[in-house]
């Protein structure tokens, strides 16, 4: 049948139905030629790019995505076009038109002619951006203390072990601080647990603001916090600990009724990486003993284990 022969009524109806289905599916459906140029896109792709079908066809991914993302897409495409693979993958795309970052679960498969030769490819990409955001948030919640937004105890130890391994490998100094709020029960009894939580939140943010980005901060539980300071020896560690102590002693937390301020102090125990303390557990135990000494010596001070 000549290619330019008009379609009969049934064929036109089937084609219309097919187009309706393809454009109604909540997925991005497209086809490309051997050079990676778009030969077909459904309406979802047009909406993604913010362009009409005519503005997309005949162009390749370099026109629509950031350079690095386009290269990744083309690498997958070449596996389909050059080797006839059908692949499933997850793709991260930065849409050039909007600057938006989107994630897709994609299936790509070759298109062959009647002789079995590859003449192009087609792909179906399902937007999984919201699922990715949820996964990231769930992972964050698994790692973060909900009250202070610091690392929780488990994640702090994981990060500390990673840093300690690096320090041991390269023989770099590491300092660990353990901090506890003095007379915190008195704060709760006097002002209530809600105000006590506010004190912990302010304390955590003040510590983050005072420390370096490379330092690891965590809430171990209750009013007890720990900080691992990479590339930090005794003298510098003491300077950091004293700075934290003084900054927190000067910090005030307004009461909920705005009729006063809560003042508090902290005690800090410090331990350095050495032959006797070369694991996170031994560093924490050493710092905990130094913290106990600081408490017994009158509080609002720094002691070294």
DSSP string, 176-238: EEEEEETTHHHHHHHH-HHHHHHHHHHHHHHHHHHS-TTSEEEEEETTEEEEEEET--HHHHH
Q: Which CATH number characterizes residue 34's domain?
A: 3.30.450.20
Residues 207 and 287 in one domain: yes
Return d(Cα 305, Cα 296) in angstroms, integer: 14
102-157 pLDDT tens trace: 999 999 999 999 999 999 999 999 999 999 999 988 888 889 999 999 999 999 99
Which pLDDT band, with edges at 50, 70 and 90, does 4 fall under? very low
Residues 278 and 156 both lie in one domain? yes
- Closest to 224 (Cα-Cα) out of 195, 204, 240: 204
Token pair, residue 22, equals 């393809």
Number of domains in the chain: 2
CATH number at residue 245: 3.30.70.270
Distance CA 109, CA 86 (A): 4
Give the Cα separation of 124 and 88 in Å (integer). Answer: 10
CA 61 – CA 73 distance, rounded (Å): 8
Phi, psi of 114 (to 5 degrees): -65, -20
Considering only the C-alpha atoms of the chain, give the largest distance between any 2 of them, rounded to a whole number of Å.
Answer: 98
- Examine the domain organization and report whether 163 and 210 are in the same domain: yes
- 138 in any annotated domain: no
Domain boundary among 85, 102, 133: 133
DSSP lists the bridge partners of residue 178 as 226, 269
Are 161 and 281 within one domain? yes
Tell me how far apart the terminal alpha carbons of the chain are, to the nearest angstrom.
Answer: 90
Q: Determine how β-strand 216-221 pairs with β-strand 174-181.
A: unpaired
Q: Is the pLDDT of residue 275 over 80?
A: yes
Asked if the model's pLDDT at residue 1 lies above 50, the reply is no
Residue 238's domain comprises 144-304
**223 among known catalytic residues:** yes
Q: Would the pLDDT of 11 be above 70?
A: no
1 lies in a domain? no
So what's the pLDDT on residue 3? 43
The one catalytic residue in 91, 223, 224, 231 is 223
Please state, as a whole number, how many other Cβ atoms lie within 10 Å of the Cβ of residue 195: 17
Q: How confident is the model at residue 9, as a pLDDT?
A: 59
In-domain check, residue 172: yes
Q: What angle do CA 247, 249, 250 make, to 5 degrees?
A: 65
Strand partners, 102: 93
Give the pLDDT confidence of 147-159 residue by residue, as tens digits.
999 999 999 999 9
| pLDDT on residue 6 | 54
Question: Is the CA virtual torsion 55, 61, 64, 67 positive or negative?
Answer: negative
Measure the CA–CA gap between 33 and 86, rounded to whole angstroms. 16
Is the same domain home to 173 and 242? yes
Place of tokens 């690095």: 68
For β-strands 302-304 and 266-272, DSSP reports them as parallel
14 or 181, greater pLDDT: 181
pLDDT at 8: 61
Confirm whether pTM is higher than 0.75: no
Cβ atoms of residues 199 and 190 within 8 Å:
no
Same domain, 151 and 285: yes
* Residue range 31-73, pLDDT digits in tens: 999 999 999 999 999 999 999 999 999 999 999 998 888 999 9
SS3 (DSSP) at 113:
coil
Length of the chain equals 305
């Amino acid at each position: 049948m000549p290619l330019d022969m008009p379609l009969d009524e049934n064929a036109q109806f089937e084609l219309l139905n097919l187009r309706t289905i393809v454009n109604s599916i909540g997925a991005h459906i497209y086809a490309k030629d051997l050079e990676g140029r778009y030969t077909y896109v459904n309406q979802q792709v047009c909406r993604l790019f913010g362009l009409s079908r005519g503005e997309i066809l005949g162009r390749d991914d370099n026109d629509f995505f950031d350079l690095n993302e386009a290269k990744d897409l083309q690498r997958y495409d070449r596996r389909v076009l050059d080797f006839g693979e059908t692949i499933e993958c997850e793709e991260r795309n930065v849409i050039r038109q909007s600057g938006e970052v989107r994630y897709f679960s994609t299936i790509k498969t070759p298109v062959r002619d009647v002789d079995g030769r590859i003449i192009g490819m087609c792909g179906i990409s399902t937007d999984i951006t919201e699922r990715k955001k949820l996964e990231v948030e769930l992972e964050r919640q698994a790692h973060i203390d909900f009250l202070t937004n610091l690392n929780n105890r488990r994640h702090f130890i994981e990060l500390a072990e990673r840093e300690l391994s690096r320090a041991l490998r390269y023989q770099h100094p590491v300092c660990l601080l353990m901090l506890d709020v003095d007379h915190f029960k008195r704060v709760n009894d006097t002002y209530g647990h809600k105000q006590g939580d506010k004190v912990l939140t302010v304390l955590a943010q003040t510590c983050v603001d005072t420390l370096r980005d490379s330092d690891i901060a965590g809430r171990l539980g209750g009013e007890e916090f720990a900080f691992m300071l990479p590339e930090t020896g005794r003298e510098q560690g003491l300077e950091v600990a004293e700075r934290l102590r003084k900054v927190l002693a000067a910090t005030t937390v307004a009461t909920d009724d705005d009729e006063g301020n809560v003042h508090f102090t902290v005690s800090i125990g410090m331990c350095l990486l050495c032959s006797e303390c070369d694991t996170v557990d031994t560093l924490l135990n050493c710092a905990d003993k130094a913290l106990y000494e600081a408490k017994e010596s009158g509080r609002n001070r720094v002691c070294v284990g």
